[in-house]
Amino acid sequence: MSIHPTAIVSDRARLAADVEVGPYCVIEGRVEIGAGTIVESHARLGGRHGRVRIGADNLIQTGAVLGGPPQDTSYVDADTELVIGDGNRIGEYVSINVGTPKGGGVTRIGNDTLIMAFVHLGHDCRVGDRVVITNATQLAGHVAVEDDALLSGLAGVTQFVRLGSFCFLTAGAFANKDIPPYTIAEGHWAVPRALNRVGLRRAGVDAAERRNLDRALRILLDRSLTMDEVLARIGEECAPSPRMEHFVDFLATSERGVARP
């Protein structure tokens, strides 16, 4: 274990043997850090409220603040937590809060995700695997980001919104409704404009399936149709597949409402 002499590490913290902690870091309270994780200078992990669990092989860069109390006036003190998986990179001055009892108690980051500088993730957010969140993007509480989504810089997402897998939220966009999987969304407020063909091709999705998903998206974007009619038309006109099933389920289970032009 390598802990710089200027770092302050709580006696309640549990660090794997090969964790590196840089200069002027503060690790307070109940914090667990897994093998191979590096914490660069001036980061603050944990606090007097809740718990922080960080997995293996993460890079936590300068000035990150992970596990602070929720920005929720109803929160007083509770045994809630922030859970971060393996292989993530968390950029400079990122802030991520622990969860709240009313939101399930956990803010969660998956594996192999890149969170760039100055990003904020509010309490009870759930971020999947292989997500990219670009500089200065801000997520309110209770936002869910599915696997392989990409959020461009200076984007904003209001509370309780879901961002579907392989969706691409463009730079400066603001989302207040659910963004369907596999789509490119832009605007204030953000709506889907096209299929994320590049992201799907890079993920190995073949041309036939891309055309199939594009057909479903065109049906969704027809505002003359109700959502029930959209789902019925997709069932009639699009070939079944696991990705199509996910697309349809995402639309059918939306509580916030699906973004449409």
Question: Catalytic site residues?
Answer: 123-124, 141
DSSP class of residue 178 equals B
Helix (H, G, I), strand (E, B) or coil at 251: helix
**In this structure, what is the dihedral angle of CA atoms 176, 182, 185, 190, given to the nearest 10 degrees?**
-10
Give 123-132 contacts, CB < 8 A, sequence gap 24+: 123/70, 123/71, 123/72, 123/75, 123/80, 123/97, 123/98, 123/99, 124/70, 124/99, 124/100, 125/96, 128/165, 129/85
**Buried-state track 173-184, b at ≥16 Cβ within 10 A, e below 16:** bbbbbbbbbbbb
